[in-house]
Amino acid sequence: MERVLKRLAIIHYLLFLISLSFSGFGCISGGGGVGSLGINYGQIGNNLLPPENVVELLKSLKIMKARIYDTNPQILNAFANSGVELIVTVENQMLATLMDPQQALLWVNSHIRPYFPSTNITGIAVGNEVFTGDGTSSQILTYLVPAMVNIHAALVQLSLSQYISVSTPSSLAVLEESYPPSAGCFRKELAAIMPQILRFLNNTNSPFWINAYPYFAYKDNPSQISIDYVLFNVPNQGMVDPYTKLHYNNMLYAQVDAVVFALAKMGFGDIKVGVSETGWPSMGDPNEVGATLENAAMYNRNLLRRQMADEGTPLRPNVTLDVYLFALFNEDLKPGPDSERNYGLFKPDGTMSYNVGLTNSMSSSEIRT
């Protein structure tokens, strides 16, 4: 009987995928959108749509979660009364200042309180990828936990903590090991600070956010990593964790579960893990293997399918994985390799870079107005 049920479940899933393929890769044409899918709205460009138009674009796509990398007043005002859930960010250079509780209270009073609740701020990201793994982040790391604690204390003082969570997005550089997922563990140089971060998240019921990019792993080792595995294509051989016997048919879920195992080894296995950034560039420099429009479209289409199905990872199959896609726009002023400027679902004028299956109910002229 168990075998029959498993076969029926597989058939049901395959029929679901087929139905998506006949509906424009799972176009969202009504309802409240994909509740577990958000998008990163960066602003490092000189030709981006005005924030008011961005709000209308998101709503037309039925994307009701977004993350920004600052507390730009123009954006916070534009998002007022939109219903879009917004995560805002304390810039890394502010962390030293926010070690002072009074400065943290001043920051919340000036950057959050005037806009809430009209603007649906649901989270504050204190810093972004503070630990870089290259030795340049040791000093700023000492500011991180006090800044988080002080921001949360300010929210408590202003009776906002029940509405707004506090966390910090990390890169996968925080992991010493990530393969197989069950080997996941944090870097030894984080032995002092990571327990402090995790105790804070656990005590405040806040998620551990990770910026996870299978693209980077593939770019660095394309001869050893299957493109189908990193792009969520099915079927693919994937990998089986030799210790848990769990099967992974995509790298993103393996990366997330490696973080879950790392948390458990620190005694915090119940903390929820979310993906604060993931994406794929549609263009890159000649040495950036895999950075193509076709791969970007496939990665994000397949990711959208998974989010529509409210999937969990193999280790946490019944816990929907919250994912924030990177990014909404191509940003022409970002430094670094060409790929950094080409992660967007949309070009700066609001036209699609490629179609991932999100139904846009607005015309191009309406977006640019």
Q: What is the pLDDT of residue 215?
A: 98
Q: What is the pLDDT of residue 364?
A: 45
Average pLDDT for runs of 10 along the chain of length 369? 40 35 34 76 95 97 97 98 98 98 98 98 98 80 97 98 98 97 97 97 98 98 97 94 98 98 97 98 97 98 94 96 98 97 95 85 47
Q: pTM for this one?
A: 0.89
Which domains does the chain carry?
31-67+169-368 (3.20.20.80)
Residues 36, 273: Cα–Cα separation, whole Å: 12
Does residue 18 contact residue 12 with C-beta atoms inside 8 Å?
Answer: no
Catalytic one of 277, 294, 311, 331: 277
177 is catalytic: no
331 is catalytic: no
Q: What is the pLDDT of residue 27?
A: 38
- The two structure tokens encoding residue 12: 């049901």
Opening angle at CA 329, ends 173 and 33, nearest 5: 90
Q: What is the pLDDT of residue 360?
A: 61
Taking alpha carbons only, the member of 197, 173, 200, 196 closest to residue 186 is 173
Q: What is the pLDDT of residue 121?
A: 98
Q: What is the pLDDT of residue 29?
A: 35
Q: What is the pLDDT of residue 132?
A: 86
Catalytic one of 52, 56, 129, 288: 129
Residues 136, 131: Cα–Cα separation, whole Å: 8
Does residue 232 contact residue 292 with C-beta atoms inside 8 Å?
Answer: no
